[in-house]
């Protein structure tokens, strides 16, 4: 019986938010597990030395919000291409939304996605089950059976559940087996027909706007339902400053309420729409600069727990249209880390706080063993050149649908290599 190789990462800048460690260090890996980590690690002579040359070695990113086209719309994005894009961007675990053409709303489909991800994706794939059948917001899906099949959370994706009674029943059902409900806070009536953030710019461009009230009203409702039912609630991809006090109050009250924000809403604002740039047409819409800065403060303070990519690739024929006809969404797995690192380079947030929101925080919310560099943890690691300048070219993206609001922008930070379960699955140097 052959012994699995023993790898000794040396000369690294270890960045491990779970232990609050950021400094020179070493890591020992064998098989799919980390054996040891610290400033110095004793390793046997037969260990294979991997010199990190002073670059940052950190846990692989965990992305809680990824949409693909499989099953049904593989031309938009397959699990294979999403997995390749993910590991190139440093994402080692991705949670797939149920909003595929064949909605993931029963146990067999959860099992299908899990097995298909294991077979075809370089990154780990976890499934989010639909809260309601067909995401129609009417009949509650079989949450218990999907949880048994491996669903890690339940969501109606970007389709609001209009009926408060239906949402209450979903949360009550989920709370019975301690499942996480992820809700996009957006009032269906206030957001109907909206194309962008409501304000002076939307008026000048002649586009229907979506007010921040659409978010805060829905967030208030779902927080109150979480209190009523005892459900675990993730407010998914918040976008406005006005929502933050509601989340802070819920946390202070002891409710199990967490929140995520997309990297786009931390690094871009409504002005990035320019002259009707459809690649920056996102859901929720990009908001004001004041909202953006408030969301950054929310991540720093812990009011906002998680940063996600919001990966929602759309083919060119859905984006190269008049603004009011173009689809919402952007490919984002490859830009999550370098875009987020711009906040660190600009001095807006400490590196540990930034990386925590993409590693140990999402791992804690889902109860995953990943997201940390410690003995016994899965060997999901990324080596990153934090200062490497990138002139981002969307035409060279690995993702099938090459559309990004960062096209042509200069970003900083490059993933040099990615390891999933102790195996190198990506190298920018090979």
For position 296, which CATH number holds? Answer: 3.20.20.140
Asked if 248 and 305 sit in the same domain, the reply is: yes
Q: What's the token pair of residue 55?
A: 């670059």
Region of residue 100 (phi > 0: left; psi between -120 and 50: alpha; otherwise: beta): beta
**CA angle (103, 107, 111) in 5-degree steps:** 90
Position 1 in a domain: no
Residues 387 and 323 in one domain: no
Q: Which of 178, 110, 86, 161 is nearest to 366 (CA)?
A: 178
The pTM of the full predicted model, rounded to 2 decimals, is: 0.97
| 407 domain residue, yes or no | no
What does the pLDDT read at residue 3? 79
Same domain, yes or no, for 43 and 158?
no
pLDDT at 121 over 90: yes
How would you class 254 by CB atoms within 10 Å of its CB: exposed for 0-12, middle for 13-18, buried for 19 or more?
exposed
pLDDT at residue 291 tops 90:
yes
The answer to whether residue 80 sits within a structural domain is yes
Q: Are 188 and 246 in contact (CB under 8 A)?
A: no
CA 171 from centre of chain: 22
C-alpha distances in Å from residue 36, one per residue of 61, 216, 364, 395: 20, 45, 21, 40
User: In 10 A of CB 281, how many CB atoms?
Assistant: 25
Is the Cβ–Cβ distance between 325 and 30 less than 8 Å?
Answer: no
Kindly state whether residues 288 and 393 are assigned to the same domain: no
Burial class (CB in 10 A: 0-12, 13-18, 19+), 49: exposed
- The 10s digit of each residue's pLDDT in 141-179 is 999 999 999 999 999 999 999 999 999 999 999 999 999
Domain of 10, CATH number, reads 2.30.40.10
- For 210-239, what is each residue's pLDDT tens digit? 999 999 999 999 999 999 999 999 999 999
- Residues 97 and 196 both lie in one domain: yes
Please answer whether residues 287 and 240 qualify as being in contact, where contact means their C-beta atoms are separated by less than 8 angstroms. yes
For residue 209, give both structure tokens: 């706007």
Domain around 384: 6-57+378-399+412-427
């Amino acid at each position: 019986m052959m012994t699995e190789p023993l790898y000794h990462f040396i000369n690294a800048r270890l960045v491990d938010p779970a232990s609050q460690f950021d400094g020179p260090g070493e890591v020992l890996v064998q098989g799919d597990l980390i054996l040891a980590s610290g400033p110095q690690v004793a390793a046997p002579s037969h260990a294979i030395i991997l010199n990190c040359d002073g670059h940052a070695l950190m846990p692989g990113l965990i992305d809680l919000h990824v949409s693909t086209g499989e099953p049904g719309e593989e031309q938009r994005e397959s699990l294979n291409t999403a997995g390749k894009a993910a590991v190139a961007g440093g994402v080692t675990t991705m949670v797939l939304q149920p909003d595929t053409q064949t909605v993931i709303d029963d146990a067999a489909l959860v099992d299908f996605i899990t097995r298909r991800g294991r077979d075809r994706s370089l990154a780990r794939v976890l499934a989010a089950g639909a809260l309601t059948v067909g995401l129609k917001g009417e009949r509650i899906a079989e949450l218990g059976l999907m949880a048994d099949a491996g669903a890690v959370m339940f969501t109606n994706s970007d389709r609001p559940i209009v009926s408060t009674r239906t949402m209450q029943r979903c949360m009550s059902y989920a709370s019975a087996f301690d499942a996480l409900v992820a809700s996009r806070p957006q009032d269906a009536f206030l957001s109907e027909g909206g194309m962008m953030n409501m304000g002076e710019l939307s008026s000048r461009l002649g586009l229907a706007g979506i007010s921040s009230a659409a978010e805060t009203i829905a967030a208030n409702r779902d927080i109150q339902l979480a209190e009523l039912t005892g459900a675990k609630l993730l407010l998914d991809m918040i976008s406005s400053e006005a929502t933050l006090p509601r989340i802070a109050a819920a946390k202070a009250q002891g409710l199990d309420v967490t929140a995520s924000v997309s990297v786009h809403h931390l690094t871009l604002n409504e002005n990035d729409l320019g002259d009707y740039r459809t690649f920056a047409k996102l859901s929720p819409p990009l908001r004001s600069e004041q909202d953006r800065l408030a969301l950054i403060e929310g991540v720093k303070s812990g009011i906002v727990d998680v940063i996600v990519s919001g990966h929602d690739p759309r083919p060119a024929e859905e984006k190269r249209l008049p603004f009011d006809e173009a689809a919402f969404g952007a490919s984002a797995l490859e830009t999550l880390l370098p875009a987020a690192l711009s906040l660190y380079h600009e001095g807006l947030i400490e590196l540990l706080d930034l990386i925590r929101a993409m590693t140990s925080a999402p791992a804690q919310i889902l109860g995953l063993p990943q997201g940390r560099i410690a003995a016994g943890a899965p060997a999901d690691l990324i080596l990153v050149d934090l200062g490497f300048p990138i002139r981002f070219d969307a035409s060279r993206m690995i993702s099938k649908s090459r559309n990004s609001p960062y096209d042509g922008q200069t970003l900083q930070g490059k993933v040099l290599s990615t390891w999933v379960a102790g195996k190198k699955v990506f190298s920018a140097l090979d």
